[in-house]
Amino acid sequence: AMITAISTDGYRKVYERINAVVEQFPNEPLRQFIETAWVYVSFGFDEPDHFKITFSGSVEREREYPALVEMTGKTFDTLRQLIIRCQEADLIDNGEPDLAAVTVWGFVHGFVHLIQESMVSHVVTNRYTKREMLILSLNHLLKTPLTKDPQDGSPLGSGIQITQE
């Protein structure tokens, strides 16, 4: 029951943070896309233990916990709606929104996991900040790659050595 409560709370945090991004950038689906990915990554690094428990799949018989089922559904639906907005804005390829949402979620989750487990070469992690790595990686999903961080306009991929926090 404790793992279920922790997992439910983790999904709630991600859901609330995604909604805050959508509210902050109401007519900017590209910004919503980038910042939603960033809040997920930030949760993974700001609260790594909570993140790992939340997304570990450790809850047996998940369907027996309505609060968890509700939060996972709401979180996924919020991501799905974002994907639809991005498709309508011609930012990403059209296709089945559920599958596109799974692709993006899996991509960003894998990104967090690889860095948390020190599976990304120091050659890369010394060269880019986590945010820069994320945006440059997300460029592979966008129809028009970004060359600047939409948050502050700083150039991406400058190749400048950066000390990782």
Is residue 67 scored above 60 in pLDDT?
yes
Instruction: Give the C-alpha separation, 9 to 77, whole Å.
Output: 17
Closest CA to 50 of 113, 14, 6: 6
Q: In sequence order, which residues have a C-beta less than 8 Å from that of residue 41 and are 6 or more positions away?
A: 108, 111, 112, 130, 131, 134
Instruction: Give the C-alpha separation, 14 to 35, whole Å.
Output: 12
Whole-Å CA distances, 106 to 2, 23, 60, 65, 103: 25, 24, 21, 23, 5
CB 97 within 8 A of CB 79: no
Least confident of 20-29, 30-39, 55-64, 65-74: 55-64
Least confident of 12-26, 52-66, 98-112: 52-66
Domain limits of the chain?
2-121
- Predicted TM-score (pTM) of this structure: 0.89
The pLDDT tens digits for 98-115 are 999 999 999 999 999 999
The mean pLDDT value for 117-128 works out to 93
Pick the CATH number of 2-121 from 3.20.20.70, 3.40.50.720, 3.30.1490.20, 1.10.357.10: 1.10.357.10
Q: In sequence order, which residues have a C-beta less than 8 Å from that of residue 69 and are 6 or more positions away?
A: 62, 63
Is residue 66 scored above 90 in pLDDT?
no
